Amino acid sequence: MIIVLIGYMGSGKSTLGKELATVLNYRFLDLDDYISEKEQASIPIIFKKKGEIYFRKKETEYLTEVITSENLVLALGGGTPCYGNNMNLISEAKLVKSFYLKLSIPLLAKRLFPERQSRPLISHISTEQELLEYIGKHLFERTPYYIEADITVNTDHKSKQEILEALLVHLI
């Protein structure tokens, strides 16, 4: 089985994905890390040197490669479900269960503001208010894709353990 974690940047996909993979004795893969490894460049460098369109094409190519794995917890980039045919790839793949990790806009902004320089899509934002507005607009555009996941897990004010338990309930 492949467990795919979907959600906005900062929603905990990688952190929770590693924990879930450990509990299940599965392999963990962060798609952004996989892309960086294959392209031999960080995501910010890929965006800067080759642009978002190039990145999105590569993202779909590498998603197609890994979606056929077994015993894998896969954390997608925040935009992955929203481009190309990516949600169809996920929903049509065999033995895949997808989860949307839903975190509120204020909590996303609180998490992301201190690390915005390492995230190409928000590196230009200078105030928390601007970030709140940006996330709100972005989530409005992305939510229709995110909610195509098999299961939505609201993660607001929940501990890692509570979220893991919510995920595991749907895997048994």
pLDDT, residue 14, reads 94
The pLDDT of 76-86, averaged and rounded, is: 93
Q: Which two tokens stand for residue 34?
A: 């996989």
CA distance 95 to 112: 32
CA distance 12 to 1: 21
Q: Which two tokens stand for residue 88?
A: 């169809």
pLDDT in tens, 38-61: 999 998 899 889 998 999 999 999
Q: Does the annotation list 77 as a binding residue?
A: no
Q: Does the annotation list 32 as a binding residue?
A: yes
Residue 104: band (very low, low, confident or very high) from pLDDT cuts 50, 70, 90: very high
Identify the residue whose tokens are 């190409």: 120
Indicate the domain borders of the chain: 2-169
Q: Does the annotation list 12 as a binding residue?
A: yes
pLDDT, residue 94, reads 86
Q: Does the annotation list 111 as a binding residue?
A: no
The pLDDT of 21-45, averaged and rounded, is: 95
Q: Does the annotation list 84 as a binding residue?
A: no
> Contacts from 161-165 at CB under 8 Å and sequence distance 24+?
163/12, 163/16, 163/101, 164/16, 164/19, 164/20, 164/23
pLDDT surpasses 90 at 143: yes
Q: Does the annotation list 13 as a binding residue?
A: yes
Q: Does the annotation list 64 as a binding residue?
A: no
* Size of the chain, expressed as the number of residues it contains: 172
Residue 121: band (very low, low, confident or very high) from pLDDT cuts 50, 70, 90: confident
The pLDDT of 121-147, averaged and rounded, is: 93
pLDDT surpasses 90 at 26: yes
Q: Does the annotation list 27 as a binding residue?
A: no
Q: Does the annotation list 56 as a binding residue?
A: yes
Q: Does the annotation list 18 as a binding residue?
A: no
The pLDDT of 98-109, averaged and rounded, is: 96
Q: Does the annotation list 15 as a binding residue?
A: yes
Q: What share of the chain in percent tops pLDDT 70? A: 100
pLDDT in tens, 63-73: 999 998 899 99
Three-state secondary-structure class, residue 137: helix
pLDDT surpasses 80 at 135: yes
Average pLDDT, the chain: 94
Superfamily of domain 2-169: P-loop containing nucleotide triphosphate hydrolases (3.40.50.300)
pLDDT surpasses 80 at 93: yes
